Structure formats: structure tokens, C-alpha cells
Chain A
Amino acid sequence: MITITVKLFSTLRKCVPDYDPERGIALDLPSGATVESVLGQLGIPDSKQPFVTCQGRVLKLTDQAPIGGTLHIFQPVAGG
């Protein structure tokens, strides 16, 4: 098992009941779990077009969730 912390942003905060924006969510995952499985476990639907960053980089769905890392999950944004 590995543990990661997840922080949700924009309307994704509503995907998890009683989400605490300060602490985020601690998740226990089987080692080798992918970003995609994290999204699945949190119940974030594809229709929200989520994207995930860790340590300043955007991760692919097939990337492994980093042990002990913090994932940030967003919806798409554009500038203005």
C-alpha cells in the first residue's frame, strides 16, 4: 500500500462529500496505482475533464501515483 494526499480544486471539491480544502484527502492505494485509478476512487467523472499535477508537472492518466506525494486535481482553465 502507498499513501498519497489529494487536493481538489474548482468544482471538483463538490465531488467528495465534506471535503476539507485545508487538509485535502489522504488516500491509501495499492502500490503501482495509476492517476486514473485515483480519479476513479474519488468518483471524479471524465465529463469534468480533470487534470492532475504533482510537484509542478502535469501527470498522465497512466502515470503512477507518487508515494507520499501530493496530487492537485483541477478542471481545465484558459487565460483571460
Chain B
Amino acid sequence: MKFIRVDMTSKKVRIERVPQKYIGMGGRGLIADLINDEVPARCDPLGPENKLIFAPGLLGGTSLVNTSRIAVGAKSPLTGTIKESNAGGTFGDAAGRLGITAVIIEGRGAGDELFVLRIDERGEPELIQASDLKKKRTYATVVALLDRFGEKNAVVCIGPAGEMGLRAASIQSTDTKARPCRAAGRGGLGAVMGSKQLKAIVMDLRGNVADTLADPAAFELAARDFAKAVRKNPFSRDVMPEFGTAGLIAPVNSLGGFPSYNATKGVFDGWEKISGEAMADMIRKRGGKTTHQGCAKCIIRCSNEFVDKRGKYVTSSLEYETIWSMGGMTGIDSLDVIARLDNLCDDIGIDTMSTGVAVAVAMDAGYKPFGDGAAAIEMVEQIGKGTDFGKILGNGPEEIGRHFGHHRVPVVKGQSISGYDPRAMQGNAVTYATSPMGADHTAGNLICEYVTGKLDPLKVQGQVEASRSSQISMAVVDSIGLCVLASPVLSSPEGAEAFIRAINAKLGSNLKPESLEQMGKRILSAERKFNRKAGFTNKDDRLPRFFYEEPLPPHNTVVNISEEDMDKTLDF
């Protein structure tokens, strides 16, 4: 258990013991407390007072399957709120196996140098000059870093977008094949990393000093039972390895909730061409991989490797949210173009969701026609080149909306919605509006309740409660380091029971299911506390006007949740 604290002002790096009050915390929950304790809420997100925190989940580095997420947090330059965005790959597991509770990057240097933080196999950190990596895209950055430090390393890094401080910049994380294709995409955390003049963290994969477990035998047993529950679940067993999250395209269109053509329609005209099923058939025919293990310790394998007609790698992994933002929102019905855009965003280091939505807003404003793939690629290339227009686009949909004087900008607190239209899925409206992170796809997504018929997506009734409960459990999932795609198993009694047993066996605690609920509420309250200090009020927990005024076909509904109900959601 240790913090690695890196002061970019003095260039001093030190290892600290984790203070008692943070023991037993990880990921998003730890970030919420650390940011509250150490970051002045009204600070400039790109200034020296902000801190960028990398924290594996509480069970990162253990043998529990699918717990290799790395949570990244700071005050967000995109939303102005507290932000946690997490990525898969190998970095979270590597950090956990080195017994690292968090890496905290603070301060800011003068001049325009660039640095890399290297953490070796004993967990020893060193800050190294790396100005030669300036403006390098992420794939080339990783090749250069692995060349220098060896293949047995996990890397998180930024591309040109982060270096330029663009507010939709991502932090990219390497997958099991050392490609920077996994992203902590949301909230512009790449810009915070850029402001710290930190290009990358290179973490040795051979760590073997994970935190001791209070009861190793009980832990192994719990881990085995949990893995069994994951393997039994039809979603993780059947759907994910075959289609990944792209399997959502068909059901979300069938429910009329797939925001298309900049959220003017709920069904995309060409959705069968860009569905998970079409993608899987295409990948298989071309000799690509419909499934592979993108992240350490994963037994679900939602990832794919998308290849072109000649069988050459284009991107990994083509996922639902990107196909939606780069396809549905922009009217582009070619998976080849969408895959190219996905790879381009990863390489430039920019969020695919915010960028796709920004392109869609520009198209809706008349800048280019919907469906023009070549124009979309050219627009995203401009971000990488840092042209004036590219910088506006790279600052996300709100800025592009301002630039074109366009009213239909689907963001909350400056961050784009995800691929579920709030007018056709009223509970997701509640989550978008009230999540302390701004609109978000993993903060409390109710799609599972809708497709299984547990909740009617168009009725007001039950939405606030469902959003609340999902937001609470996601705060826990993101703190433990569990992949969201493994989280449905927590709704089975044996999955939930094994999960809590694993936590107890690590901590030597006696937590009950109610304790996890308390944990989730506490995290959300801490995040809201920070936002209050930063100047946010209930009035900010609202969707843009057009979601209340412009009915979405085919259901022709608007958001019907009252302001009063919105305000009750997280009022614990």
C-alpha cells in the first residue's frame, strides 16, 4: 500500500505510506476523497493546483477476474466537476501487483518540456525527460517507450490532443498486445495530463508485491465462485465474446432510443449495416478477431480486432459507444469509416464519444452533410494537426455548438450524452442530469432494465429510483476496479455474495450488502460535495432545453422527469 507522489513543479518523486483514512479504498472512491482533500474546488483544471490521480480498484492486482481497471481522476476541464474515468488494459493490474494504491501527479513545470514517469519492477518511480516524444501520436509513443524500457511494461499516455490541452483529450492505456487502444476517454483528463507536462507513465508488468490479503484462502475461494458466476451469465458468456458491446446496437434501435443524426431520430436508417451482428460477420469474413482478451485478468473477452478488406489491423476494439457516436450521430453507415475514425481518435488521444458528437453537431449546423465519412475523417485529422478548427472540435460538442451558433448540443455539464436518448429512456435522462460527472455512459445506465422488461423506458414512474440505485452500484463497481461488463453478475445472488466475500477476504472486514450501498452513497455524496464547492447547484442537474421540447421519433416523446424529481435522485 503506497502512494507515489510526483511534483511536476520541483520534479521530485516520493513514495508515501497510505494515510489510515484512505485504507480500504480504491479507484473512484479513493479519487473522490483525495480530490476533496487536496484540490481547491475552484482551481483552474489545467493549472498547478489540480491533481491527476491514477488509482487501481480496491481489488486490482488480486486474482479476482475482470478487476484490472485503472481509474483516473481530477477536476475536469470539460465539465468543471470532479471526474473519474476508467480504462481497461494492463495498467491497473500492473499497479495493483506493485502494491500501488495511487499515483498522484501535482504541480506544473515551466517551459515546454515533456516527461515520462517510469515505475520499475520493484515499484521504484523515476521522472525522465522525454521531450523527444512531443506531438507524437499514441501508437508511435508506445512503440518508442517499449523500445526504450522493454516490452514487459504497461503504458498510459496522451497524444497531441492532450499536449494541446484540448478539453475532450483522453488518456490511452495499452491492451494485452501493447496497443494504446483502451481509453479513459471522458472529461478531458488527457488535457490535465498534458498540463502537467507528463506524456506517459510506463509501469513494469512484473510486479509481485501486491497488498497482502487478510485471508488468502477465503479470497481464492471467493474469486473462484465469482468467476463461476461470470461464466454462467448468458450476457458475459454468450453475447460479449461474440459481439462485444456492439451487440447493443440492435436492441437500442429496436427500442427507438439510438440518438441518430445529432439526436433528431431514435432509429438510425442503416442500423443493420453497423450492428454488432454485421460487424462480427465482417470481421470473421476478413480473418480478424471477433473476440480477444483486451484487459488483464479478463474472462469475458468483449474486445475485437477490426481489420480492413485485406485483413490488416485497423482498430481494437470497435465498441458500441464509438459506433454510435461516429456512426449513428453522424449518419455514417460504414463500419470501415467508423473503425478508421476510432483508430484516429485513439492515436490522437481524444474521446471518441465527445468527438463523434462534436462532428455530428457541426454537421447538424450545416458545416458538412450527415453521412459524409470523408469529411468526418478530415475533421478529426484537423484535431491531430492542431488547426484552429481542429482545436474547437477537440474541445468537444459545446464549443463546436457555440462556434456555429447551433442550439442542439446534447451535453450535460459540457459532456456529451452516450448512445441512449434520454427522451426514449427516461431513467437515463435522470442519470445524465444528476451524475456528478456530467452525462456519462457508465454512471447509471438502465438499458438492462429496459430490455428485460423490468422498467418501461417511456414512463416516468420508477426512473428516479432505478437511476439512483444504478448510480450507487456503479460508484462501488468503479471503486473495486471491476469491469462494467462483469457487473451484471452482481445482480445474481451467487455473484453478489462471492463479490462481497472477496472484498471482506482482502480487507479482513465484515461488510454486508448494505455496507456496499453505504459505500456507493458516500462516494456520490463526496463527489457532489466537491461540485458544490466548485459552484454547481441543482440547477446544473438539467438536460439541454431541446430534450424537453423536441419530441424524438419514433415514440415522439420528450423528457418528462420533473425538476423536483431530478433533485431527489442523489439527495441522501
- Interface residues of chain A, those whose CB is within 8 Å of chain B, are 9-11, 13, 21-22, 47-49, 51, 53, 55-60, 72, 74-80
A10 to B445 alpha-carbon distance, docked (Å): 20
B369 close to chain A: CB less than 8 A: no
Residues of A within 8 A of B488 (CB): 76, 78
A74-B554 in contact (CB<8A): no
Residues of A within 8 A of B447 (CB): 77-79
B63 close to chain A: CB less than 8 A: no
**Selected A-B contacts with CB under 8 Å, 20 pairs:** A9-B247, A21-B272, A49-B452, A56-B254, A56-B424, A57-B255, A58-B255, A59-B453, A72-B250, A74-B250, A75-B238, A76-B451, A77-B235, A78-B235, A78-B445, A78-B448, A79-B420, A79-B445, A79-B484, A80-B319
Q: Interface 1/0s, chain B 249-263, versus A by CB < 8 A? A: 011001110000000
Cβ of A24 to closest chain B Cβ, rounded Å: 11
Cβ of B180 to closest chain A Cβ, rounded Å: 19
Q: Interface 1/0s, chain B 473-485, versus A by CB < 8 A? A: 0000000000111
Residues of B within 8 A of A22 (CB): 272
A78-B485 in contact (CB<8A): yes
B554 interface neighbour in A11, A13, A56, Cβ under 8 Å = A56
A21 to B247 alpha-carbon distance, docked (Å): 14
Cβ of B259 to closest chain A Cβ, rounded Å: 14
A71 to B334 alpha-carbon distance, docked (Å): 25
B243 close to chain A: CB less than 8 A: yes
A11 to B276 alpha-carbon distance, docked (Å): 11
Residues of A within 8 A of B336 (CB): none
A21 interface neighbour in B245, B248, B277, B441, Cβ under 8 Å = B277
Query: Beyond A58-B453, A76-B234, is A53–B242 a contact (Cβ under 8 Å)?
Result: no
Residues of B within 8 A of A78 (CB): 235, 445, 447-448, 484-485, 487-488
Residues of A within 8 A of B485 (CB): 78, 80
A2 to B98 alpha-carbon distance, docked (Å): 64
Residues of A within 8 A of B546 (CB): none
A79-B242 in contact (CB<8A): no
Residues of A within 8 A of B275 (CB): 9
Residues of B within 8 A of A10 (CB): 238-239, 242-243, 247, 250, 276-277
B234-A75 in contact (CB<8A): yes
B238-A11 in contact (CB<8A): yes
Q: Which residue of A lies closest to B442 (CB)?
A: A80
Query: Beyond A77-B447, A80-B442, A80-B485, is A60–B453 a contact (Cβ under 8 Å)?
Result: yes
A56-B256 in contact (CB<8A): yes
B320 close to chain A: CB less than 8 A: yes
Q: Interface 1/0s, chain B 278-296, versus A by CB < 8 A? A: 0001000000000000000
Q: Interface 1/0s, chain B 485-503, versus A by CB < 8 A? A: 1011000000000000000
Q: Which residue of B lies closest to A13 (CB)?
A: B277
A60 to B487 alpha-carbon distance, docked (Å): 25
Cβ of A26 to closest chain B Cβ, rounded Å: 18
A9 to B242 alpha-carbon distance, docked (Å): 11
Query: Beyond A21-B277, A56-B256, is A77–B247 a contact (Cβ under 8 Å)?
Result: yes
Cβ of A67 to closest chain B Cβ, rounded Å: 19
A56 to B445 alpha-carbon distance, docked (Å): 18
